[in-house]
A and B are shown apart, each in its own frame.
Chain A
Amino acid sequence: MANVFEIDELKVGYGKLEIIHGVTFSVEKNELFVIVGPNGSGKSTLLKGLFGLASIKGGKILFNGEDITKLPPHERSKLGLAYHPQLNNTFENLTVRENILLAGYFLDRDELERRLENVLEFLPEIRGFMERKVKTLSGGERQMVAFAMNMIKEPNTVMFDEPTAALSPKMADLIFDRIRRLKTEYGLTVVLVEQNAKKALEMGDRAMLLVTGSIKYLGPAQELLTHEDLASMYLGLRD
């Protein structure tokens, strides 16, 4: 079976600065791939590079067999790749409905209505605040709106950048649950960058440990979770 991502010696950065120093890995279809690492290790930068928001300094990205290294973000979006940014992932001054409508900007009305129904079935909590402005919502509710904005595009692969940062444990569990269901019920491929390493690794298939822009571990998620040195040294999972 073909891999969703084939990443070869990828270097990513901003301006003159290189942050990811040549990483090689792949993500399989219908896999929940977890990326963990300490603060400043380049996890978010890597995701931005994969979506075309940070500049690629070298290497190659194959997405479902197609070279997307030089494609702009909205072209990648058309190929079924979705990206859930950590911050500023919603328009604060617009209502929830307007936000979701924007995400489906190029769909015709009927198609939009159909998809919206599906999304609301998946994230029924949103029904309660469809007409409210995003700036009046809590952090967890905003994450759900951003989640919905991605789902309206019916992607085949979703990349999450710390979707549970600064959320209450209860809300974090809810988000994690939906992410898991993306894979199990909808058959999507998920790339998940998480600060909450324990939770993420527990539900992940395979994992990658990123330290200062290089891969320190690549393999089964469970194994990293129980790894003597790595887990305590970089993830603070053991005392």
Chain B
Amino acid sequence: MMLDTNILLDALVYSNMLALLSLSLTLTIMTLKVANFAHGDLAIIGVYGAYTFLILAHVATYLTLPIAFLFGGLYALLNYVLVYSPMRRRGANFVMLMIASMAIDIATRSMLQMYADVLKLNFKVYSRAFIFNDVVFNIAGTRVRGLVLISTLSVVSLLAILYVLLMKTKFGVAMRAAIENPALAEVLGINVEKVYATSWFLAGGFAGVAGFFLPFRIPTSPDLGFIILLPIFAASILGGINSLSGAVIGGYIVGVSEILGTYLLSQPPINLSTAYRPAIPFAILILTLLLLPQGIASLWSRGE
């Protein structure tokens, strides 16, 4: 039984996506204090945006990556400005905000389904289970799949941008302040609503970028956003829900475990159906909640 390089590379690509998704989920949880059950849908909104652009403009696939960012970001921003922010101003409690995110999930997915119908009708294209064709780069004699290269580069550069924004700019300091103590930030004259809305836009953009990579790996459909929700939550909770770095590491742990675990369990002598794949993030989720409820971030922030 040998793990070939393709599976390891697939694990890397999947983990790259998951890291972006759990990082962005964590960013929204830090502002709203409630987990957003429509987070996976932001990725799908992003990829449908990019796909639509591809149908209309016939450009190289990777050039539509920023479109995915934009669509994901704008949709998340709309969610925050139109629903969460007014609800919170009216004193909605924790469970109500959570149910609202579930309602947004249902509305978003059915909206995407309707959109897929319209797309198919008007452009005669695959609007469900569509895939993106990859390109192969030749770097110093080594052939590298575009997906491996671009997804890794995207994660590295987005993380770097986020780090600089949060740690080195005045707006980033204001963002961290507004997340930690919105009341005090307000007193100091910081527009907390604006800061939160920006966080949502960024989070949606990150999710959109992750979504862009989906059709390179698997056929993509509107409901995929809900299917990937479990590993995203598992990664975010494993990361400690209030730690951005924890979320990224959680994304890689869950992603690699899911891909390698599913592969190993489907081999002889176990021969388990790959349909049981969600059992792996589920197990990680349960184990985290039982053994390390504060997540892995508590391992290094303890004692501070």
Give yes or no for direct A-B contact (beta carbon below 8 Å): yes
- Chain A contacts to B: CB under 8 angstroms: 51, 53, 73-74, 77-78, 83, 85, 88-94, 98, 101-103, 105-106, 133, 135-136, 149
> Given A78, A91, A106, A135, which contacts B176 in the complex, CB threshold below 8 Å?
A91
- Residues of chain A within 8 A of B259, CB atoms compared: none
Tell me, yes or no, whether B177 is within 8 Å of chain A by CB. yes
Interface pair B189/A89, CB less than 8 Å apart = no
Cα–Cα, bound, A106→B184 (Å): 16
> Given B176, B180, B189, B304, which contacts A105 in the complex, CB threshold below 8 Å?
B189
- Residues of chain B within 8 A of A78, CB atoms compared: 189
Q: A102-B174, A105-B170, A136-B304 are in contact. Are A94 and B180 (CB under 8 A)?
A: yes
Tell me, yes or no, whether B185 is within 8 Å of chain A by CB. yes
Cα–Cα, bound, A102→B178 (Å): 10
Of B181, B183, B184, B185, most A-chain CB atoms within 10 Å: B184
- Residues of chain B within 8 A of A93, CB atoms compared: 176, 180
Interface pair B189/A94, CB less than 8 Å apart = no
Contact with A along B281-304 (1 / 0, CB 8 A): 000000000000000000000001
Q: A105-B190, A136-B304 are in contact. Are A94 and B184 (CB under 8 A)?
A: no
Interface pair A73/B187, CB less than 8 Å apart = yes
Interface pair A89/B184, CB less than 8 Å apart = yes
> Looking across the interface, which residue of chain A has its beta carbon closest to that of B177?
A91
B residues 173-198 touching A (CB-CB < 8 Å): 173-174, 176-177, 180-181, 183-190
Interface pair A102/B185, CB less than 8 Å apart = yes
Whole-angstrom distance between the Cβ of A72 and the nearest chain B Cβ: 8
Instruction: Give the A-B contact count at a CB cut-off of 8 A.
Output: 57
> Looking across the interface, which residue of chain B has its beta carbon closest to that of A112?
B170
Interface pair A101/B173, CB less than 8 Å apart = yes
Whole-angstrom distance between the Cβ of A136 and the nearest chain B Cβ: 7
Add 6 more A-B contacts to A102-B173, A105-B170 (CB < 8 A): A74-B187, A88-B184, A92-B181, A94-B180, A133-B304, A136-B304
> Given B180, B188, B190, which contacts A92 in the complex, CB threshold below 8 Å?
B180
Interface pair A101/B170, CB less than 8 Å apart = yes
Interface pair B187/A77, CB less than 8 Å apart = yes
- Residues of chain B within 8 A of A136, CB atoms compared: 304
- Residues of chain B within 8 A of A94, CB atoms compared: 173, 176-177, 180
Interface pair B304/A135, CB less than 8 Å apart = yes
- Residues of chain B within 8 A of A133, CB atoms compared: 304
Cα–Cα, bound, A53→B183 (Å): 9
Interface pair B188/A102, CB less than 8 Å apart = yes
- Residues of chain B within 8 A of A92, CB atoms compared: 180-181
- Residues of chain B within 8 A of A135, CB atoms compared: 304
> 28 A-B pairs, CB-CB below 8 angstroms?
A53-B183, A74-B186, A74-B187, A77-B188, A77-B189, A78-B189, A83-B187, A85-B187, A90-B184, A91-B181, A91-B184, A91-B185, A94-B173, A94-B176, A94-B177, A98-B173, A98-B176, A101-B170, A101-B173, A102-B173, A102-B174, A103-B188, A105-B174, A105-B188, A106-B189, A133-B304, A135-B304, A136-B304
> Looking across the interface, which residue of chain A has its beta carbon closest to that of B189?
A74
> Looking across the interface, which residue of chain A has its beta carbon closest to that of B183?
A88
> Looking across the interface, which residue of chain B has its beta carbon closest to that of A83?
B187
Cα–Cα, bound, A53→B190 (Å): 15
Interface pair A85/B186, CB less than 8 Å apart = no
Cα–Cα, bound, A90→B304 (Å): 17
Cα–Cα, bound, A98→B174 (Å): 9
- Residues of chain A within 8 A of B173, CB atoms compared: 94, 98, 101-102
